Amino acid sequence: MLTPENSPKVSIEVEMKKSYLDYAMSVIIGRALPDVRDGLKPVHRRILFAMSELKNDWNKPYKKSARIVGETIGRYHPHGDSAIYDAIVRMAQDFSLRYPLINGQGNFGSVDGDPPAAMRYTEIRMMRISHELLKDIDKETIDFVPNYDESTEEPSVLPSRVPNLLINGSSGIAVGMATNIPPHNLSEIVNALTELIDNPDLSIPELMQFLPGPDFPTGGIIYGIDGIIKAYQTGRGIIRIRAKVSIEKEKKKGGTEIIVVSELPYQVNKARLIEKISALIKAKQLEGIRYARDESDRRGMRIAIAVKKDYQAEVILNKLYKHTQLENTFGIIILAIVNNRPELLNLKQALVHFIDHRKLIIVRRTRYDLRKAEERAHILEGLKIALDNLDEVVALIRKSRTPPEAKQGLIDKFNLTDIQAQAILDMRLQRLTGLEREKINAEYDQLLKDIAWYKEILGSEQIVFNIIKDELLEIKEQFGDKRRSEITSDTKQISMEDMIVEEDMVVTISNGGYIKRTPLSIYQSQHRGGKGKTAMETKDQDFLAHVFVASTHHNFLFFTNMGQVYWCKVYDIPQAGRVSRGKAIVNLLNFTENEKLATVLPVEEFTPGHFVIMATKNGLVKKTDIIAYSRPRTNGIRAINLVPGDELISARITDGTHNIFLASCLGKSIRFHESDIRPSGRTSRGVKGINLSAGDRIVGMEVLSYGETLFVATENGFGKRTSINEYTLQARGGKGLITIKTSARNGLVVSILLVEDDDDIILLTESGKLIRLHVNNISKISRNTQGVKLMDLDDGERITAAVRLPEKEEAKNPELDKLPKQQPLIKE
């Protein structure tokens, strides 16, 4: 009896380490990971063996699932019945296994995530392909081991003529490791195996000519082969799977487009996918969708996603790929048990292990068949001796008093073995007929041929390989089918630009925080002095604050008055009618309190060596390489460090070789070369650009890279053009020159533009009106003057912004005679 005094002393650290390792290996070997040879985990192997023992064959009547579960628990797998039934259910689901191993009758779940019926309601039997996993198990091809209570024996592995590990895949989480092997096409696996048998030196890329990649039971499209190549070469890789979709038109006249999903990525829950799409529609994260509903029936899967009028189905589909599981990833980990140890395998190693397994099975099967054939031939040799000496044998038996005496007499007289003598004694009298004697001779001759063939097999490795190939080709002929998953080598992400028509847009932003984009083509040129068109319907105390023109394909940097910068695409801005207010800007840009949009820069691409020039309300300027602003975060990044009371007014893109022009609200301006501004970091403060008088502030900045004249607009609707040559080059930080008189008639300066004679200009008022003017209709006068009337304003109305529209021929829009020909400059 153990007592505290005589009990062994064990370090808790050592004991914990040993116990945990024992537990870990038990989980790894005995539960979570498949064997590389038959591709089965212990629970699946035990289920199939129990079904085989109960003669629950593919061509026999179904048996209750509960019967199989009980047999498996009682004899082989002493775990919970739910774990065993879950394994049975998965082996019966045609959307989980590429080649199901169990034929189920009843409710075994669905792709919608519906649970299966209880085991007492469902019935099962083995699929025909399952017999190929168990074939020759009775020919001493594999080792049997004691079951959990040593009351019987169970197979340590199945003979498996089918490469089950790869055709059905496997997934499992062990202790400190996991496996996730995708299913493959049986025909392709067989092709790869037979080629590898013929050419053992084949490389993995060469094997991929026969086995291009996984083949999922639910189909779908595998995008890109890089992940497949990496997984096959290293055992780990990630592949992208997309749903198979088509775009249909509604049958009714003027019907909108419908996105139809016919195949889903592997292991995607259809019901949850539709719920996710509906939730995104409700949260307004997916615009342009009328409904998403399940129209699946007995003919197959069909998810219908109706697109609203004026929206492109391709654009909606791309957003669905981005935000839902219509595009999903599958992380491949080819981890399996090899010689009782977990091992990460590449494709070739997995195939070689199966070939080695089949080689051993065939050798052991042949040895068994040879032994049985030799044993039978031995008996037949004794029977032939007896038939050749029939009268003497009969006489000897008749005069023997007991069977042992007769047996011994036969052994002594005819020099027989104990087995042969017993066979003679057991022989029926009917075998003494002439016909039966011929059968014995024929059987003996055939056995001699079989024995010779078995010995030939055991003496030639090449014959063994030929048998493996022949059996694989039989499997392919019987169970092979066409590939379901399409593989495309195109690894390029589908971009919005590929699906959106490139056109010029007028983007308007109101002071109240509403933004929209409208095709530029809806605005026609008008004569100077006209009333203009309404560009945005505004409410009380709201007015049009910003406007710019750019292509739908451009990137945009949104700079705010507080020195932050945000990133967006023009096509991400909602399109609306000419008089619509648009959408609240807070749904696009994550502004903080009191943060307002200062300017927007269209950027086709972020090119090193180009700079962002910024100007603040207090006359500071700053130059920073554009790469510093190429990857803003969702909540924006710092563009410039501002002192209290200062605001960012404008920003432009340059290449480092231009002159900078600043203008103030009191009519002052300065021109200097940008080389006067030393490049600085993203969060720096900048240097002085102009020395402002008290009460003055900067209203605009231009980079002198375009235009021969400077256009100036004042808040009361007056303006003019002045030759740029009248503004002499000065040093940065000076007082500047007068650019227009800010009299009571004119009011303060609101905007400056660099223009040419063949340009058009858009003027906007705070009430939302817009007028488009030809520049050559605006007087060109000297610098120190008041200008001419540009727009007829109502009482109390003010001009807030102006935009230049450079010349661009556009035959497809006869309404317009001039449209932008380059990235526009943004005014406020």
pLDDT digits (tens, 9 = 90+) for 661-673: 999 888 889 999 9
Distance (Å, whole) CA 721 – CA 718: 11
What CATH number is associated with residue 310? 3.30.1360.40
609 versus 334: the higher-pLDDT residue is: 334
Using the predicted structure, report yes or no on whether residue 811 has a pLDDT greater than 50.
no
Identify residue 430 by its one-letter amino acid code: Q
Strand pairing category for 236-242 and 327-333: antiparallel
Q: In the numeric block, which tokens belong to residue 138?
A: 């009775």
Number of domains in the chain: 3
- The pLDDT value recorded for residue 285 is 84
Three-state secondary structure string covering 128-145: HHHHHHHCCCCCCCCCEE
Asked, for residue 16, whether it belongs to a domain, the answer is no
Q: Using pLDDT thresholds of 50, 70 and 90, give the confidence band for residue 127.
A: very high
Mean pLDDT in residue range 680-694: 89
Q: In 3-state terms, what secondary structure has residue 178?
A: strand
Q: Which of 117, 72, 67, 60 is nearest to 92 (CA)?
A: 117
* Coarse DSSP helix, strand, coil percentages of the chain, rounded to the nearest 5 percent: 30, 25, 45
For residue 500, give the DSSP letter: S
Residues 692/698/704/708 CA torsion (nearest 10 deg): -100
User: Which helix (H) or strand (E) element contains residue 700?
Assistant: strand 698-703
Q: What angle (nearest 5°) sits at the alpha carbon of residue 229, between those of residues 226 and 234?
A: 120
121 tagged catalytic: yes
Mean pLDDT in residue range 704-708: 74
700 in Cβ contact with 802 (< 8 Å): no
Whether residue 363 sits in one domain with residue 320: no
pTM for the whole structure: 0.68
301 in Cβ contact with 274 (< 8 Å): no
Cα dihedral sign for 74, 80, 81, 86? negative
Asked, for residue 37, whether it belongs to a domain, the answer is no
| Rounded percentage of the chain residues whose pLDDT exceeds 70 | 90
Cα separation values, 509 from 252, 426, 702, Å: 37, 105, 21
Using the predicted structure, report yes or no on whether residue 157 has a pLDDT greater than 80.
yes
Q: Using pLDDT thresholds of 50, 70 and 90, give the confidence band for residue 539.
A: low
Contacts of 205 (CB under 8 A, 6+ apart): 229
pLDDT digits (tens, 9 = 90+) for 340-382: 999 999 999 999 999 999 999 999 999 999 999 999 999 999 9
Contacts of 323 (CB under 8 A, 6+ apart): 280, 285, 286
Whether residue 797 sits in one domain with residue 727: yes
pLDDT digits (tens, 9 = 90+) for 503-538: 777 777 775 667 888 877 665 555 555 555 555 555
119 in Cβ contact with 69 (< 8 Å): yes
For residue 827, give the DSSP letter: B
Whether residue 711 sits in one domain with residue 615: yes
Asked, for residue 154, whether it belongs to a domain, the answer is no
Cα dihedral sign for 49, 54, 55, 56? negative
Q: List alpha helices for 135-241, DSSP H.
A: 164-168, 186-198, 204-207, 226-234
376 in Cβ contact with 447 (< 8 Å): yes
Using the predicted structure, report yes or no on whether residue 333 has a pLDDT greater than 90.
yes
Whether residue 744 sits in one domain with residue 655: yes
Residue 661, φ and ψ in degrees, nearest 5? -125, 125
661 in Cβ contact with 653 (< 8 Å): no
Using the predicted structure, report yes or no on whether residue 236 has a pLDDT greater than 50.
yes
pLDDT digits (tens, 9 = 90+) for 103-113: 999 999 999 99
Asked, for residue 330, whether it belongs to a domain, the answer is no
Using the predicted structure, report yes or no on whether residue 189 has a pLDDT greater than 90.
yes
Using the predicted structure, report yes or no on whether residue 26 has a pLDDT greater than 90.
no
Q: What angle (nearest 5°) sits at the alpha carbon of residue 634, between those of residues 631 and 635?
A: 110
- The pLDDT value recorded for residue 819 is 32
Residues 376/380/382/385 CA torsion (nearest 10 deg): -170
308 in Cβ contact with 280 (< 8 Å): no
Q: Which of 23, 121, 523, 629 is catalytic?
A: 121
Using the predicted structure, report yes or no on whether residue 476 has a pLDDT greater than 70.
yes
Whether residue 303 sits in one domain with residue 372: no
Cα separation values, 605 from 505, 557, 602, 608, 750, Å: 19, 11, 9, 10, 30
- The pLDDT value recorded for residue 234 is 95
Task: Quote the crossing angle between the two packed helices 347-388 and 390-399, to the nearest 10°.
Answer: 80
Cβ count within 10 A of residue 451: 17
- The pLDDT value recorded for residue 176 is 84
Asked, for residue 193, whether it belongs to a domain, the answer is no
Q: Using pLDDT thresholds of 50, 70 and 90, give the confidence band for residue 126.
A: very high
Distance (Å, whole) CA 669 – CA 749: 11
Distance (Å, whole) CA 222 – CA 239: 7
Distance (Å, whole) CA 559 – CA 561: 7
Distance (Å, whole) CA 451 – CA 441: 15
User: Which helix (H) or strand (E) element contains residue 181?
Assistant: strand 178-181
Distance (Å, whole) CA 334 – CA 196: 19
User: Which helix (H) or strand (E) element contains residue 659?
Assistant: strand 659-664
**What domain range includes position 406?**
359-478
Residue 543, φ and ψ in degrees, nearest 5? -150, 160
Mean pLDDT in residue range 461-469: 96
Whether residue 773 sits in one domain with residue 702: yes
Range of lowest pLDDT (326-340, 531-545, 591-605)? 531-545
Cβ count within 10 A of residue 1: 4
Distance (Å, whole) CA 120 – CA 105: 12
Average pLDDT, the chain: 86
Asked, for residue 214, whether it belongs to a domain, the answer is no
DSSP-derived secondary structure for 576-598: --TT---EEGGGTS---TT--EE
Q: In the numeric block, which tokens belong to residue 188?
A: 């392709």
Distance (Å, whole) CA 456 – CA 89: 44
Asked, for residue 146, whether it belongs to a domain, the answer is no
400 in Cβ contact with 386 (< 8 Å): no
Using the predicted structure, report yes or no on whether residue 31 has a pLDDT greater than 90.
no
Mean pLDDT in residue range 583-611: 78
Whether residue 732 sits in one domain with residue 643: yes
- The pLDDT value recorded for residue 824 is 34
- The pLDDT value recorded for residue 201 is 94
Whether residue 735 sits in one domain with residue 613: yes
Mean pLDDT in residue range 678-698: 88
Cβ count within 10 A of residue 174: 20
Q: Which of 688, 522, 531 is nearest to 617 (CA)?
A: 688
Mean pLDDT in residue range 460-467: 96
Q: Which of 123, 93, 103, 99 is nearest to 58 (CA)?
A: 103
Whether residue 393 sits in one domain with residue 283: no
Asked, for residue 801, whether it belongs to a domain, the answer is yes
Cβ count within 10 A of residue 192: 24
Residue 824, φ and ψ in degrees, nearest 5? -75, 160
pLDDT digits (tens, 9 = 90+) for 742-786: 888 888 888 888 888 888 888 888 877 878 888 888 878 888 888
Distance (Å, whole) CA 827 – CA 823: 13
What CATH number is associated with residue 450? 1.10.268.10
Whether residue 266 sits in one domain with residue 366: no
Burial class (CB in 10 A: 0-12, 13-18, 19+), 352: middle
pLDDT digits (tens, 9 = 90+) for 555-590: 778 888 888 888 887 777 777 776 777 777 766 777
The counts of H helices and E strands in the chain are 17, 41
HSE, side-chain direction, 13 A CA sphere, residue 341? 4
DSSP-derived secondary structure for 246-296: EEEE-SSTT--EEEEEEE--TT--HHHHHHHHHHHHHTTSS-SEEEEEE--
Whether residue 261 sits in one domain with residue 373: no
321 in Cβ contact with 327 (< 8 Å): yes
What CATH number is associated with residue 615? 2.120.10.90
Cα separation values, 510 from 370, 683, 764, 765, Å: 92, 28, 11, 11
Whether residue 405 sits in one domain with residue 473: yes
Distance (Å, whole) CA 579 – CA 766: 14
Which residues face 121 on adjacent strands?
Answer: none
pLDDT digits (tens, 9 = 90+) for 627-636: 888 877 767 8
265 versus 576: the higher-pLDDT residue is: 265
Q: In 3-state terms, what secondary structure has residue 389?
A: coil
Range among 28-42, 208-222, 427-441, 643-657 with highest mean pLDDT value: 208-222
Q: In the numeric block, which tokens belong to residue 730?
A: 């000065």
503 versus 206: the higher-pLDDT residue is: 206
